[in-house]
Structure 1
Amino acid sequence: MEYSVKSGNPEKQRSACVVVGVFESRRLSSAAARIDEASGGFLTQLGRRGDMEGRLGQTLMLTNVPDTLCDRVLLVGCGREREFDDGAYRQAVAAMTNALHDSGAVEAVSYLPDLPVKARDNIWRVREAVQTVDSTLYRFDRLKSRKDTPRRPLRKLTLSVPSRRDLAPGERAAREGHAIAQGMGVARDLGNLPGNICTPTYLADQARELAEQYERLEVDILGPGEMEELGMGALLSVARGSRQEPRLIVMRYRGTDSDARPYALVGKGVTFDSGGISIKPAAAMDEMKFDMCGAASVFGTVKSVLELELPINVVGVVAATENMPDGNASKPGDIVTTASGQTVEILNTDAEGRLALCDALTYTERFNPETVIDIATLTGACIIALGHEAHAVLGNHHSLVSELMHAGRATADRCWELPLWDEYQEALNSNFADMANVGGRPAGTITAACFLSRFTKKQRWAHLDIAGTAWKSGDQKGATGRPVPLLTQYLIDRT
């Protein structure tokens, strides 16, 4: 898809389609009103006949609109104007995208970014429109023998800005939106792949391919031998039951001076999680291919950063492994030594993500990062606490947590802070090791973060638990690409 921005009156656009909004009840947006005036009240007459009420998501494609230069005019219902918020705007853009996709129009000019969204400026509306269009058009059909391809797919979308002085900021917004959308696409593709394809070795190969495409990216891959030498007993313990060898994937993006401290992203990459000896119930176990979505979000964010060529340094570290039951698998009661030298009693082998992450976090110290953010589908307790709307965020540095929450609000990819008080640490006490890997059912998301905090005391660190947000179930089953928007915005803000 090609995106551009322009300013100009809708009735004067020579295009296959011009898109304008209509609010309830039949209230024309400013762009729609201009077309109505130019056409001698053509849109008003349609409204009076009941063809377009303006309900949110409603669409009406018109041809031969008098005294306009475009082939078609698409009316998009936007609901009640006073309730037109972030979610309603995305619904309207998605409805526009689906209608254009089915229309055969290969290009269009959209005036939806001119609509007044509460507390959002035109720059946000342009960027969000690009992300929403790409997300709506996303299809994962690479493994289907027959693909549903449109007869004439939409190839170019031009987005309206109020005036010529808004062109440069608008172009930057479109570029940022497209880069974030590409990153989300990478994360969704990796998440949606089945575990028999997306193995730790496959993820390592994807990192190498990225490095071949972009000169600013360097990649190092560590195998079991290197992990053994580094004392990564926790990460290796997760992989013991699998025939797939683990990989520690390190992606280093250099966007500025080599001595500038990087921002580190650390992702949980459990490419399939059976639970190990503490095996999961069979129902919906297929969704455990999504247990590497933390790693996928690191890949996606690195992709976005590469596209934007941000003037900062970034390190992405992915702990990639399977968690499978086997005669050689870790058992409840086993004790392992981590790369930090601390020992862990494994009380539940299904709490494996933190074991993989703790060694990856220790490894990340060598880069002397400015901040460290780990991303993981870590706990089902997070879904109980926050549902499927917000990521949980916890950390040892208040400013970092606040910056992440700000980035989430800016992108509508929100997170919510949970406490990380010292009192919760007691739940991890063990009679036989420095700590246990689980702390019981109460406050499971918090005690999991407490575990990780013991490996990040030297760092400005935050933890994002994305167990409730990384994928959807049911008819819309699939990876969401979150929190790539939040992470990319956080890094944009650092510039």
Structure 2
Amino acid sequence: MDFQLKTLTLSRAAAEKADALIVLFADGAIDGQEPLARLAAEARKAGDFEAKAGKVLSLYKPLAGAPRTVVLASSADGKPASVRSAVVAALAAVKPVKPARVAIVFAQSADAAAVRAAVLAASEACYVYLTTTSKAEANPVRNVLLGVPDASAAKAAFEEAVATANGIEFAKEWGNRPANHCTPTILAQAARGLARLPKVKCEVLEHKDVAKLGMGAFAGVAQGSSEPLRFIVLQYSGAAKADAPVVLVGKGITFDTGGVSLKPAAEMDEMKFDMCGAASVLGVFRALGELQPKVNVVGLIPACENMNDGKAIKPGDVLKSMSGQTIEVLNTDAEGRLILCDALTYAKRFSPAAVIDIATLTGACVIALGGVRSGLFSSDDALAAALEQAGEASLDRCWRMPLDDDYAEGLKSNFADMANIAGRAAGAVTAAKFLQKFTADFPWAHLDIAGTAWKSGAAKGSTGRPVGLLLSYLLSRGAADAQAAGAAAGRKKASRKSRAAA
């Protein structure tokens, strides 16, 4: 979908060539003599246009020269969540007229957060998965014009939002693909395609490379499938070579049967979503290549299937991880942590500033937090705080969970250094404690997205989360690092001048 940004007053917006016009009105008195403002004020006074986020009033040819469909939408307090509600509701209201071009206009001022929210909401509302369907075009919206009082002031936020929307859509695309259209090999091809973007490189390791590295846990999970594993290494180099990168590790189980510990048949089709952590990493790199921020990022994706044949690992088997630690497999359906632990060990070679793994890891996290917030676990308070802040800013929220050492007691094994499960109690926490055993050398955070990565039921499909959260974190970090580097350069220059003057 194509997004455009333009400076528009309400009177100019009414004259725009569009199939539908959406006007966002915030709380308070609606000022101005433009016909649309007067219409909105009258409707609100009559009680037909409530000042509540997401409330809309649809009008047919309300003004001469205006689009035939005009929707007044309330953005209430004007905050990002309210703007998102207004845009989603308004786009639902115009859907019956099948508009190809939609103009969304702010009647009042719009800050950067509101602009981002409007773009991301429009992208979310208009996204339709088509790759494996026979439909030519299920959603006709091809162009969205965003009108604001001052386009130049909103340009940076708009460009960031469009890139984020593209990254989220990329993650949705790969998350939604059926497993036979998204094998580890095909996923690796998608990653290689990202290397065409500026400053992005991709390397793909195969079974022989993984075996040579000693990734016994990762290889153990993959050995039950006829589909060969792939270990994907993406690198985005936007800062100085000496700057330590942030490493993102995405769980890439392209289909999860549970292995010998077979899952129940109901909703097993949704196990194609077990690679949404990997998809989110791909989505982040798609956006990084477009935005080109001053930050270094590495993406690691261990990709394989968890299948069940005569070669599959069995409960009671002991695997040796890349770290040298051994793992007793008590449940083959706790496979995500097995592939992640080797990827976390591999991350050490990059001397990272921080490592964040993203995984649809536990049903226990779904029980704890539902589909609203992702579970956040971290051994580093500063990293956790930065991720929480990024989640709030991006409306892609997370919630920090505990990592007390007592939770690791259940991972003890009589036959290996650790077991891969610790019972049902606090399952999301004990899974994180397992991963923590492989992260002693760097600041680390784990995002359990089992509840937020996809939706079930009538709205079944990938959400693209937590691409927004991760990008918000990386962009903030890049901006802070650049500011610090600039300040250091300024101090160095001042010092040289002082010495010269002396």
Residues 354, 98 of structure 1: alpha-carbon distance in 2 compared, 3 angstrom cutoff: same
Q: How does 1:102-181 map to 2 (within 5 A)?
A: 102-103=96-97, 105-112=99-106, 114=108, 122-149=111-138, 153-161=141-149, 163=150, 167-181=151-165
The question of 1:78 aligning with 2:74 is answered yes
State which drifts further: 121-130 or 442-451: 121-130
CA distance 1:328–1:154, change in 2 (3 Å):
closer
The offset of 1:107, in angstroms, is 3.8
The Cα of 1:311 is off from its aligned counterpart by 1.3
- Structure 1: gaps spanning 5 or more residues: 116-120
Shift of 1:76: 2.7
**1:90 alignment partner, one of 79, 84, 95:** 84
Secondary structure at 1:494 match in 2: helix
User: Structure 1 residue 112: deviation in Å?
Assistant: 3.5
Q: Which residue pairs with 1:3 in the alignment?
A: 3
- Provide closer, same or farther for how the CA distance between residues 458 and 22 of structure 1 changes in structure 2, counting only shifts above 3 A: closer
Q: Letter of the 1:94 partner, please give it.
A: V
Match of residue 303 from structure 1: 286
Aligned-residue offset at 1:255: 1.1
After superposition, the C-alpha distances for 1:129-153 in whole angstroms (9 at most, x for unaligned) are: 1111111110002211233446x63
* Alignment correspondent of 1:118: none
- Alignment of 1:393 with 2:376, yes or no, is yes
1:432 CA displacement: 1.0
TM-aligned CA deviation for residue 368 of structure 1: 1.0
**Which residue of structure 1 lines up, in the alignment, with residue 60 of structure 2?**
62
Q: 1:232 aligns with which of 206, 210, 215?
A: 215
The aligned counterpart of 2:252 is: 269
Contact (CA 8 Å) 1:393, 1:417: kept in 2 or not?
yes
Determine the C-alpha separation between the residues in 2 that align with 1:169 and 1:466.
Answer: 34
CA distance in 1 between partners of 2:309 and 2:91 (Å) = 48
CA separation of 1:325/1:98 partners in 2, compared to 1, >3 Å: closer, same or farther? same
- Alpha-carbon displacement from aligned partner over 1:405-437 (angstroms, at most 9, x marks no partner): 000000110000011111112111111111000
Report if the CA contact (8 A) 2:26-2:108 is conserved: no
**Which of the residues 176, 190, 194 maps onto 2:174?**
190
Contact 1:113 1:126 (C-alpha < 8 Å) held by counterparts: no
| Equivalent position of 2:297 in the other structure | 314
Percent identical across equivalent pairs? 42
Partners of 1:341 and 1:380 lie apart in 2 by 28
1:347 aligns with 2:330: yes
CA shift for structure 1 position 86: 4.1
2:203 corresponds in structure 1 to: 220
Structure 2's unaligned 5+ residue stretches are 479-502
Supply the AA of the counterpart residue of 1:323: N
The correspondence for 1:489, drawn from 472, 475, 478, is 472
1:54 Cα deviation after fit: 6.3
For normalisation by structure 2, the TM-score amounts to 0.89
Q: How many residues align?
A: 474
Amino acid at match of 1:71: P
Q: 2:442 aligned with 1:453, yes or no? A: no
- 2: CA distance, partners of 1:485 / 1:181: 8
Distance 1:426 1:169 in 2: 54
Residues 341, 23 of structure 1: alpha-carbon distance in 2 compared, 3 angstrom cutoff: closer
Aligned-partner residue type, residue 300 of structure 2: V
Aligned letter for 2:158? A
Where do residues 426-445 of structure 1 align in structure 2 (5 Å cutoff)?
426-445=409-428
Once the two structures are overlaid, the 10-residue window that deviates more, 136-145 or 344-353, is 136-145
C-alpha separation in 2, matches of 1:280 and 1:440:
17
Cα deviation 1:304-330 (Å, max 9, x = unaligned)? 111101111110000101001111110
Alignment partner, residue 475 of structure 1: 458
CA distance in 2, matches of 1:153, 1:285: 33
Aligned in 2, Cα 1:43/1:492: closer, same or farther, shift over 3 Å? closer
Contact 2:91 2:125 in 1 (8 A): yes
- Letter of the structure 2 residue corresponding to residue 16 of structure 1: K
Residue 356 of structure 1 pairs with residue 357 of structure 2: no
Which AA in structure 2 matches 1:34? Answer: E
Instruction: Output the amino acid matched with 1:12.
Output: R
Output one character per residue of 1:248-274: Cα deviation in whole Å (capped at 9) or x when no partner: 100011112222211100000000000
- In 1, the alpha carbon distance for the partners of 2:332 and 2:107 equals 49
Matched, 1:16 2:14: no
Q: How big is the shift at 1:156? A: 3.7
- TM-score, normalised to structure 1's length? 0.90
